[in-house]
């Protein structure tokens, strides 16, 4: 019998042996948002009637598959909120921050100290999300700004997640469920908007193990990563680009109102791609809070008097600078549970964690797995050219060749007749 995961067999064997040789399992910490919700009042009588127990609450967690995937890969995983009561645990090798939302100054301080002290950080930032409303006449795209507040930290290292909308002609279709009805039935409507970016092999760095032989990635609603070469060079960081947009990409200013097709068209001042979408940096990251007092944790009930003053200016512990690692991605949506299993999303995530935590040796083994290969998207101009070649050029060539042959045969006939007349 052949097991279902035969493609992963080599990686599973080698990775298990490698982890058995380590002094202790590598510890990773995940920081990802979720919502605490209560059951709707109208559903309670129905649950009671069916004999079920009414839970006090439940979680709405778009990233619930990430800790499962990390546990399956052999990592000792903990998930925290990055608060005073749930800080980064001691012994954490890699910190994974997915979709940070309105980070406080103290949270940025904790991340800065972790990376400057030699830790590895995987950071996936989502600037915007969009809601689609499909009517019989048009598509309405509503915008939602996430405000991660992370640029205040990473800009000091020479990185920034762009605040403009990224548009790319290389995009894919999203099915909006319930957007149409056929009698009592709800139907899905395919929607294609150029902010639904598809990254295939041409947009992946083949020289880096993380993105070598990786299946396409659906970079949904992501933005570009901007690099400050002067700051990066001053710290001596080594930066490698992992993912890039296509050449037919550009950025437009963010609009808080509903988007219309004209809002996504390139402007005269719009920068053109390809743009970095994910980068990896290694080296001695600058401690941006060196010599400064540690910011206080946000308090639910503000303190008063001298106690509040003492909480605002705690003494920062001296930090020994060590070489750290950072992987910065300008999107987090494709790590959500409804997209994580698709294409190369999960493999890309685990490759990043392996490279940050263990090195790229194991990543090279995983990259031998079969991948989904897709053809590059053809531009509108190229489509017109190929249609012309297929529908018009070939018949024109056939007619031209036939005409030339006819002329030549006519000339040959006339020459033959002349020769017969001379003979007679």
- Per-domain residue ranges for the chain? 6-377, 380-424
d(CA 416, CA 424): 13
d(CA 169, CA 370): 27
pLDDT at residue number 238? 94
pLDDT at residue number 165? 95
d(CA 330, CA 352): 14
d(CA 366, CA 368): 5
pTM above 0.85, yes or no: no
SS3 letters for the chain? CCCCCHHHHHHHHHHHHHHHCCCCCCEEEEECCCEEECCCHHHHHHHHHCCCCCCCCEEECCCCHHHHHHHHCCCEEEECCCCCCCCCCCCCCEEEEECCCCCCHHHHHHHHHHHHCCCEEEEECCCEEEEEEECCCCEEEEEEECCCCCHHHHHHHCEEECCCEEEECCECCEEEEEEEEECCEEEEEEECCCCEEEECHHHECCCCCCCCCCCCEEEECCCCEEECHHHHHHHCCEEEEEEECCCCEEEECCCCCCECHHHHCCCCCCCECCCEEEEEEEECCCCCCCCCCCCCCCCCCCCCCHHHHHHHCCCCCCCCCCCEEEEEECCCHHHCHHHHCCCCHHHHHHHHHHHHHCCCHHHHHHCCCCCCCCCCCCCHHHHHHHHHHHHHHHHHHHHHHHHHHHHHHHHHHHHHHHHHHHHC
CB 56 within 8 A of CB 338: no
pLDDT at residue number 2? 46
Q: List 278's β-bridge partners, or say none.
A: 243, 329
Sign of the alpha-carbon torsion through 333, 338, 343, 349:
positive
Regions of the chain short of the pLDDT cut 70: 1-12, 15, 37-58, 136-137, 178-185, 300-316, 343, 360-380, 424
Strand 120-124 vs strand 94-98: parallel, antiparallel, or unpaired? parallel
Q: Which DSSP letter does residue 259 get?
A: B
pLDDT at residue number 310? 43
d(CA 407, CA 362): 69
pLDDT at residue number 11? 63
Tell me the backbone φ, ψ of residue 49, rounded to 5 degrees. Answer: -65, -30
pLDDT at residue number 95? 97
Tokens describing residue 146: 């996430």
Tokens describing residue 394: 């070939």
pLDDT at residue number 1? 41
């Amino acid at each position: 019998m052949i097991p279902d995961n035969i493609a992963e067999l080599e990686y599973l064997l080698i990775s298990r042996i490698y982890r058995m040789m380590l002094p202790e399992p590598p510890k990773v910490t995940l920081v990802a948002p979720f919502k605490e919700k209560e059951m709707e009042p109208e559903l309670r009588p129905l649950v009671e009637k069916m004999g079920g127990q009414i839970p006090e609450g439940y979680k709405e967690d778009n990233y619930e598959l990430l800790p499962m995937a990390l546990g399956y890969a052999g990592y000792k995983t903990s998930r925290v909120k990055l608060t005073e009561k749930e800080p980064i645990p001691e012994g954490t090798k890699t910190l994974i921050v997915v979709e940070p939302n309105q980070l406080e100054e103290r949270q940025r301080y904790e991340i800065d100290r972790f990376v400057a002290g030699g830790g590895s950080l995987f950071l996936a930032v989502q600037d915007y999300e969009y809601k689609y409303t499909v009517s019989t006449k048009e598509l309405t795209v509503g915008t939602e700004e996430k405000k991660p507040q992370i640029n205040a930290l990473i800009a000091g290292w020479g990185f920034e997640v762009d605040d403009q909308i990224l548009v790319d002609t290389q995009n894919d279709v999203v099915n909006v469920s319930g957007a149409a009805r056929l009698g009592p039935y709800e139907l899905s409507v395919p929607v294609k908007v150029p902010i639904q970016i598809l990254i295939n092999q041409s947009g992946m760095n083949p020289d880096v193990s993380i993105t070598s032989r990786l299946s396409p990635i659906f970079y949904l609603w992501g933005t570009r990563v901007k690099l400050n070469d002067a700051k990066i060079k001053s710290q001596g960081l080594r930066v490698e680009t992992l993912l890039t947009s296509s050449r037919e990409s550009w950025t437009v200013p963010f609009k808080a109102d509903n988007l219309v097709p004209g809002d996504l068209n390139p402007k005269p001042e719009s920068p053109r791609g390809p743009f970095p979408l994910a980068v990896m940096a290694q080296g001695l990251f600058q401690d941006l809070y060196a010599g400064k007092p540690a910011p206080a944790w946000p308090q639910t009930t503000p303190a008063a008097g001298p106690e509040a003053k003492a909480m605002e200016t705690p003494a920062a512990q001296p930090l020994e600078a060590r070489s750290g690692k950072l992987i910065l991605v300008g999107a987090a949506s494709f790590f959500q549970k409804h997209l994580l299993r698709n294409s190369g999303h999960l493999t890309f995530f685990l490759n990043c964690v392996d490279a940050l935590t263990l090195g790229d040796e194991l990543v090279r083994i995983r990259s031998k797995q079969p991948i989904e290969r897709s053809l590059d998207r053809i531009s509108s101009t190229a489509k017109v050219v190929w249609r012309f070649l297929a529908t018009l050029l070939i018949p024109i060539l056939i007619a031209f060749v036939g005409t030339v042959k006819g002329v030549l045969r006519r000339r040959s006939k006339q020459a033959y007749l002349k020769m017969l007349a001379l003979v007679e």
